[in-house]
């Protein structure tokens, strides 16, 4: 039985409101193709109402609330989300196809963790640094950016939202969130949690909508910044719109990352990490290392080992604890992936396992986890993001430098890894590859460290202490005399702290 239920109202300005039109979306189970629930489709009029509410709540350069009240509200939201762990984990598994345990960890756990990571940083907003100048002093003040349009994807609907929402809330910004229609139903559970947490009206608003309404939100005159996660094509469009408006934008986009196996690669360790490294979330993860670059001297051995490992993974119902690979998120996603499978065959790549729909799973949007061997770097399947459970293996000859050059032969620059018994060599390779994140001998992701891409993989960074910078703007006040103690305390009162420096370290949680 689904945890999703039909919804008939939109959450904006601190309460549930009837939508401006009667248009709706229907959420569909990835593993069953059965309806999960119906919910409203937001229109331009709803965007106008939500942005107006967010502007009222934003409080100009003051932001909403004090640092203490923001941090307290964020903790209440973390608790409210955790209280809905079962319902959210089950619904996201049904919507996306993510195996349920991973849906909980990567969404609910990540969201609560991000709220608790950024809440202690709330005092950074409005903190002031006094710096000596050629004449007098410069008082450098940090202020919130204002109203943020947040457009989030379907693959990790909670974590990608809270990459943005947690630091924005801590810095006193307000948000108008456009979830993907594919996973719009779970956003209503998040809105329930927001309402329970008692945020001031207008601080957080949710508007599930199609792309045309999303573009209206991006260009709305009441929006101060846009934060987007999604495809490179959509990111180019949003970046172009923001560029014309001189509007700040953060873009976390696609990837075609490479795992470099050196001559001494520890194969058992690599195979232990292969699921998280290359097939995470049924392949629906932008940081997946989907290009495996293998030394020719070990090519046959590694192709066989990867093939055997992938072929052994159970494929099935995302709610079944035994499932390793679930379905993909919808018919369109499956058709796109199957188009790449056909293209790879036509280009001459060799399918060693998978390559189509798994036997016995006639209902649901299933694609068997697939390994392509003998893939040339020029092939489409080696260059374009497939966003499904598919990896390619490409042999290389020669030096470490040649392997690095092959890894960098891509329009993308989001992630990557190197596998070697020599950790020092691995770190040298990691420092060399031009990409936003890189792992040595493991698959990892850390909310305490910045995350972002190069080239077609995006613009700007999220996460880590650095993640607050996207939601801060700076004001310099030239003064002849430094402020006295009483004035400094008054200036910091809104923030709820005094003298906070953005350079102070904050431990990862």
Which residues are known to be catalytic? 252
- Report which DSSP code applies to 358: P
Q: Which alpha helices (H) appear in 295-399, and where do they start and end? A: 299-311, 331-347, 380-383
Place of tokens 């009162």: 493
216's enclosing H/E stretch is helix 211-218
Handedness of CA 489, 491, 497, 499 (dihedral sign): negative
- Strand stretches in 84-153, DSSP E: 128-132, 137-144, 147-151
CB atoms within 10 A of CB 105: 15
List the structure tokens of 451: 């995350």
Beta strands in 112-170 (DSSP E): 128-132, 137-144, 147-151
Taking the CA atoms of 264, 281, 344 and 353 in sequence, report the sign of the dihedral they define. Answer: positive
Cα–Cα distance, 222 to 50 (Å, whole number): 10
| 8 A C-beta contact, residue 475 and residue 141 | yes
Cα–Cα distance measured from residue 8 to residue 191, given in angstroms and rounded to the nearest whole number:
13
Angle at 387 between CA 385 and CA 393, to 5 degrees: 65
* Strand pairing class (451-452; 439-440): unpaired
DSSP 24-36: EEEEE-TTT--EE
Partners of residue 35 on adjacent β-strands: 28
Task: Sort 299 into a burial class: Cβ within 10 Å, 0-12 / 13-18 / 19+.
Answer: middle
Are 212 and 122 in contact by the 8 Å Cβ rule? The answer is no
Are 340 and 386 in contact, with CB atoms under 8 Å apart? Answer: yes
| C-alpha to C-alpha distances, 37 to 4, 89, 154, 447, nearest whole angstrom | 6, 16, 16, 32
């Amino acid at each position: 039985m689904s945890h999703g239920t039909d919804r008939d109202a939109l959450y904006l300005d601190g309460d549930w409101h009837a939508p401006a039109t009667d248009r709706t979306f229907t959420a569909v189970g990835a593993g069953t193709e059965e309806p999960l629930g119906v919910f409203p489709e937001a229109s331009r009029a709803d965007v106008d109402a939500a942005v107006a509410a967010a502007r009222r709540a934003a409080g100009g350069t003051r932001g909403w609330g004090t640092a203490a009240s923001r941090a307290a509200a964020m903790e209440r939201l973390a608790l409210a989300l955790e209280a809905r762990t079962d319902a959210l984990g089950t619904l996201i598994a049904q919507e996306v196809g993510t195996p349920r345990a991973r849906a909980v960890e990567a969404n609910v756990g990540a969201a609560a963790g991000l709220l608790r990571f950024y809440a202690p940083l709330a005092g950074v907003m409005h903190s002031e640094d006094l710096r000596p100048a050629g004449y007098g002093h410069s008082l450098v003040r940090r202020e919130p950016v204002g109203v943020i349009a947040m457009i989030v994807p379907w693959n990790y609907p909670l974590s990608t939202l809270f990459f943005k929402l947690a630091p924005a809330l801590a810095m006193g910004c307000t948000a108008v969130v456009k979830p993907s229609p594919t996973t719009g139903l779970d956003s209503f559970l998040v809105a329930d949690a927001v309402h329970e947490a008692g945020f001031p009206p207008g601080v957080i608003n949710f508007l599930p909508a199609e792309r045309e309404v999303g573009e209206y939100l991006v260009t709305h005159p009441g929006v101060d910044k846009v934060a987007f996660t999604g495809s490179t094509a959509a990111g180019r469009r949003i970046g172009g719109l923001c560029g014309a408006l001189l509007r700040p934008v953060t873009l976390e986009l696609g990837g075609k990352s490479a795992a470099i196996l050196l001559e001494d690669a520890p194969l058992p360790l690599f195979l232990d990490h292969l699921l998280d490294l290359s097939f995470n979330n049924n392949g629906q993860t932008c940081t997946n290392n989907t290009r495996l670059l293998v030394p020719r001297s070990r090519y046959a051995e590694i192709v066989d080992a990867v093939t055997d490992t992938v072929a052994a993974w159970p494929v099935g119902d995302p709610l079944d604890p035994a499932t390793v690979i679930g379905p993909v998120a919808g018919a369109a996603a499956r058709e796109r992936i199957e188009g790449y499978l056909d293209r790879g065959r036509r280009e001459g790549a060799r399918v060693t396992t998978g390559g189509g729909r798994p036997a016995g799973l006639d209902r649901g949007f299933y694609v068997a986890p697939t390994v392509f061997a003998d893939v040339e770097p020029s092939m489409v399947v080696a260059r374009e993001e497939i966003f499904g459970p598919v990896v390619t293996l490409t042999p290389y000859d020669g030096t470490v430098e040649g392997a690095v050059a092959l890894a960098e032969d891509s329009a993308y620059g989001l992630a990557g890894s190197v596998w070697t018994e020599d950790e020092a060599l691995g770190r040298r390779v990691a420092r060399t590859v031009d990409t936003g994140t890189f792992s040595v001998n493991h698959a990892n992701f850390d909310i305490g460290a910045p995350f972002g891409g190069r080239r077609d993989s995006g613009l700007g960074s999220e996460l880590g202490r650095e993640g607050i910078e996207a939601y801060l703007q700076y004001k310099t006040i030239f003064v002849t005399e430094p402020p006295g103690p009483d004035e400094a305390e008054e200036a910091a009162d809104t923030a709820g702290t005094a003298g906070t420096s953005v350079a102070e370290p904050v431990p990862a949680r």
